[in-house]
Amino acid sequence: MHPSSPPASLPSPPPRFQVVGGANQTWADLTQNVARPILVHLNADTTWLLQLPYPPKTMAPPGRRRFNVLIDPWLQGPQSDVHSLFSTQWHVIAPSVATMDDLNNILRDMESTPIAPRETLVHDHRNLPRPRSPTPSQPRARADRSTCDSSVSMIDAVIVSHEFTDHCHQRTLLELPRSTPIFASDVAADLVRSWGYFDQVVTTPALGAGVPWSRLTVGPLPDWLAIGRVITPGNALYYHAASLVVFDLGQGAGAEAVIYSPHGIDSKALVDMESSGLSTLALLHGLDDVRIWMTKQLNLGALNGIKAANTCKARFWIPTHDEVKRGGGFIAPLLQRTSYSFKDAVKYEEELLMRSAGRQVSPLYQFIELGSGDGLVLPA
């Protein structure tokens, strides 16, 4: 089998869409008619929107079908670390939304869009699970403009994975309402608190081996959802770590996890995911190997990503944090980057396996690249 070809047993690619100048009908239809998570890449780097359907036995807020989690938002303007003369970067590819207000309006418009009839849905997602009808004791409010209050933010939680400003971008974050709950790693949480702006800043708890995922449910989250992290022991500043979004959608599949590791994480740190009762739905991990000349390994890249995806048994591997940004400052000429394609990485891994074990192993996950504005459904 050609190394870049998926095994025949894998399902067909999931439904996709693109954000162009706001919401589109396909995105709205999927949001309303498919009871599975939707993932949207809001820029070419590492800003994501994860939309989770409310489980059937829970009470959704009036006019809402989705719980929206925003990850590492950075939209407009440069990002600088330490000092602008030390390191400054700019996006090369424009984000798919310009401001948090734009995103908020798109999400509100989609919740207000009339539900499409079943027969109008495109053929490739008719077989995906649909939202179950609410029980009489737990009716859901009809989504219309009167229930989608324009004063209420559609962003329900924000994850900030690192204190570096391409993840913790103050200008973008301060576009959000003060009431938006922020879930951040230790140093990032302290940084956000120092601004004195947000009402709730929660330091994300770490998931230990064998610890039930429900122990991660801290802060203003419903009991079917948790936000935490996995860390590599001994890793300075937890740079090579992962944020976790864990949820049980009440569909009989148990708890699922989206693992977000923009710089990469040692695959050994993911060994115990199953012991916490988790099934990994998607791993977000970059392809490019990025380092500071003779000093520090930054992004671990595709060769590490293959190990991580296999170890956590992810159903999807989606690359992140690979935008080649325009850089300036002292550090820019010291950055070194090795870009891998998925085909190259799999070929390299297969050659290692052939030499060490005399066997060829094809990946069990689906690899899907999403550019700025691309989105997809994550089937079970």
User: Which segment, 232-246, 281-295, 343-357, is predicted with the most confidence on average?
Assistant: 281-295
Range scoring the smallest mean pLDDT among 47-61, 106-120, 135-149, 229-243: 135-149
Give the model's pLDDT for residue 208: 80
Strand duo 87-90 + 201-203: pairing: unpaired
- Identify whether 126 is part of a domain: yes
Strand order in the sheet with 296-299: 296-299, 289-292, 335-338
Contact 211/230 with Cβ under 8 angstroms?
Answer: no
Q: Distance (Å, rounded) from C-alpha 134 to C-alpha 103?
A: 28
- Identify whether 184 is part of a domain: yes
Domain that includes residue 115, residue range: 16-377
Give the model's pLDDT for residue 230: 92
- Identify whether 11 is part of a domain: no
- Identify whether 7 is part of a domain: no
- Identify whether 6 is part of a domain: no
Residue for token pair 């576009």:
175
Q: Distance (Å, rounded) from C-alpha 347 to C-alpha 12?
A: 22
Give the model's pLDDT for residue 216: 82
* DSSP code at position 321: S
- The mean pLDDT value for 32-58 works out to 95
Q: Distance (Å, rounded) from C-alpha 103 to C-alpha 46?
A: 16
- Identify whether 8 is part of a domain: no
- Return the SS3 of 255: strand
Q: Distance (Å, rounded) from C-alpha 333 to C-alpha 124?
A: 46
- Identify whether 329 is part of a domain: yes
Q: Which residue has the higher pLDDT, 342 or 196?
A: 196
Amino acid at 83: H
Task: Name 225's bridge partners.
Answer: 247
Give the model's pLDDT for residue 195: 98
User: Which segment, 32-41, 207-216, 271-280, is predicted with the most confidence on average?
Assistant: 32-41
Q: Distance (Å, rounded) from C-alpha 149 to C-alpha 62?
A: 9
Give the model's pLDDT for residue 117: 57
Q: Distance (Å, rounded) from C-alpha 48 to C-alpha 69?
A: 8
Domains: count for the chain? 1
Counting every residue written for the chain, the total comes to 380
- Secondary structure string (H, E, C) spanning 150-219: CCCCCCCEEEECCCCCCCCCHHHHCCCCCCCCEEECHHHHHHHHHCCCCCCEEECCECCCCCCHHHHCCC
- The mean pLDDT value for 238-267 works out to 92
What are the pLDDT digits (tens) for 61-96? Answer: 988 999 999 999 999 887 677 545 456 887 788 899
- Return the SS3 of 231: strand
CATH of the domain at 173: 3.60.15.10
Mean pLDDT of the residues in the chain = 83
Q: Distance (Å, rounded) from C-alpha 46 to C-alpha 62?
A: 31
- Identify whether 347 is part of a domain: yes
What are the pLDDT digits (tens) for 297-340? Answer: 888 889 899 999 999 999 999 999 887 766 655 565 677 778 88
> b or e along 230-252 (b: 16 or more beta carbons within 10 Å of the residue's beta carbon)?
bbbeeeeebbbbbbbbbbbbbee
- The mean pLDDT value for 246-261 works out to 93
